[in-house]
């Protein structure tokens, strides 16, 4: 099977695990794992409900804003760190700390600072995604051929032109790699925010279904979330491969 022109060798593995899931569910080993066929049937019944549509809209809104801020802040900061040694020495330890730290522990602090609404969820999503974007943009700038920078300076390029026309495009393969990983981390961030800060969106559905032991509904929503995250990740990986190919040709 192919997606965006890329062969997915793991599809046979997914089919195998799907069959195993169906067998375990039919055996009734645990109520937590209903048969996959029941989950798929429930999925199609859930998709058209008002509750699911509302949850999808709320989750998509928080996720989109969080990823947007992670990208528009993370890429410039990473590029500036890559080209400015002083700024790099000031910020790099903090970026590494936040990247490796359990960000879930910061959620209570965000609740105190920004309340229990959508703002805190968006900030949580941004914090989960931004650090890897910064590091990859920085790494991309560090690997730029010095001749490109010297050529820009010799032609009298302004700092903005050098930033937008040299640094950004030369580091684009690494930037896209960071965005892809950042998006995956942002999915975790938005769900954690919706579960811990304000019970809305998919977080509300997970809470509702688990509290009422509606495990088929729970897994149906989880499959939708995984499918959306996987699709976005594969699309960005496709763009990353294309950009890397043309960068190598250049």
Q: What is the pLDDT averaged over residues 9-38? A: 81
Residue holding tokens 């050529």? Answer: 151
- What pLDDT is recorded for position 90? 92
pLDDT band for 127, please (50, 70, 90 cuts).
very high
pLDDT band for 4, please (50, 70, 90 cuts).
very low
Cβ distance 130 to 181 under 8 Å? no
For the chain, the average pLDDT equals 83
Q: How many CB atoms lie within 10 A of CB 144?
A: 18
Report how far apart, in Å, the C-alpha atoms of 244 and of each of 98, 197, 200 are: 28, 39, 39
Q: How far apart are CA 172 and CA 136, in angstroms?
A: 10
Q: What is the pLDDT averaged over residues 148-165? A: 70
Cβ distance 175 to 194 under 8 Å? no
Q: How many CB atoms lie within 10 A of CB 163?
A: 17
**What percentage of the chain exceeds 90 in pLDDT?**
24
CA 197 to chain centre: 19
**Residue 121 in this model has a pLDDT that exceeds 70:** yes
Q: Based on the number of CB atoms within 10 Å of its own CB, is 138 exposed (0-12), middle (13-18) or buried (19 or more)? A: buried
Q: What is the pLDDT averaged over residues 209-215? A: 87
Assigned token pair, 159: 């700092």
- What pLDDT is recorded for position 250? 47
């Amino acid at each position: 099977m192919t997606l965006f022109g890329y062969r997915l060798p793991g599809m046979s593995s997914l089919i195998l695990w799907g069959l195993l899931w169906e067998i375990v569910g039919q055996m009734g080993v645990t109520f937590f794992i209903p048969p996959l066929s029941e989950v798929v049937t429930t999925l199609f019944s859930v998709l058209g409900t008002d509750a699911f549509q509302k949850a999808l809209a709320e989750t998509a809104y928080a996720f989109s804003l969080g990823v947007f801020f992670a990208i528009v802040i993370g890429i410039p900061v990473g590029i500036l760190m890559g080209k400015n040694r002083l700024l790099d020495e000031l910020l790099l330890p903090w970026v590494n700390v936040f990247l490796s730290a359990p960000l879930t522990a910061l959620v209570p602090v965000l609740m105190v600072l920004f309340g229990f609404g959508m703002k805190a969820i968006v900030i949580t999503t941004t914090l989960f995604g931004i650090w890897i974007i910064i590091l990859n943009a920085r790494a991309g700038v560090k690997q730029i051929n010095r001749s490109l920078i010297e050529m820009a300076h010799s032609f009298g390029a302004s700092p903005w032109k050098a930033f937008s026309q040299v640094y950004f495009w030369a580091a684009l393969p690494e930037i896209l790699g960071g965005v892809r990983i950042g998006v995956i981390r942002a999915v975790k961030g938005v769900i954690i925010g919706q579960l811990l800060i304000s019970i809305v969106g998919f977080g509300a559905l997970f809470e509702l279904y688990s509290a009422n032991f509606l495990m088929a509904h729970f897994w149906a929503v989880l499959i939708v979330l995984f499918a959306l995250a996987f699709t976005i990740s594969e699309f960005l990986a496709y763009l990353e491969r294309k950009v890397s190919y043309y960068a190598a040709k250049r």
